[in-house]
Copies of this chain bind each other. A is one copy, B any other.
Amino acid sequence: MKAKIYVTLKSGVLDPQGQAVGRTLAKLGFDGVGEVRIGKYVEIDMHGQDAGKARTEVAKMCEELIANTVIENYRIEIDEAK
């Protein structure tokens, strides 16, 4: 199965990369663009586990390595079909 992890900056944390993209989009002529926030998207192939156990494992991975929980939130989806 596949674990999909979405890591986003907490609200209130400055996102200079997102601001740069927002300004560049405006310069390129895109109207109506508001705030841009950039995060990470991580896919992990998981072997030999049920979905519940996989979710617990992936949450631990996020806490220990993948997300910086001081400034980032994470959301986990488990896709059993893959």
Question: Which residues of A does B touch, CB under 8 Å?
Answer: 6-8, 18, 21-22, 24-25, 28, 30, 32-49, 57, 60-61, 64-66
Is the Cβ of A60 less than 8 Å from the Cβ of B30?
A: yes
Task: Give A49 Cβ to nearest chain B Cβ, in Å.
Answer: 6
Task: Give A74 Cβ to nearest chain B Cβ, in Å.
Answer: 11
Contact A45 B40, CB 8 Å, known A25-B61, A65-B21, A65-B28:
no
Task: Give A35 Cβ to nearest chain B Cβ, in Å.
Answer: 5
Complexed CA–CA distance, A47 and B34 (Å): 7
Is the Cβ of B39 less than 8 Å from the Cβ of A40?
A: yes
Further pairs besides A6-B41, A30-B60: 20, Cβ < 8 Å: A8-B41, A8-B43, A21-B65, A25-B44, A28-B65, A30-B57, A30-B61, A32-B46, A32-B47, A32-B48, A32-B49, A32-B57, A34-B44, A34-B46, A35-B45, A36-B43, A38-B41, A38-B43, A39-B42, A40-B40
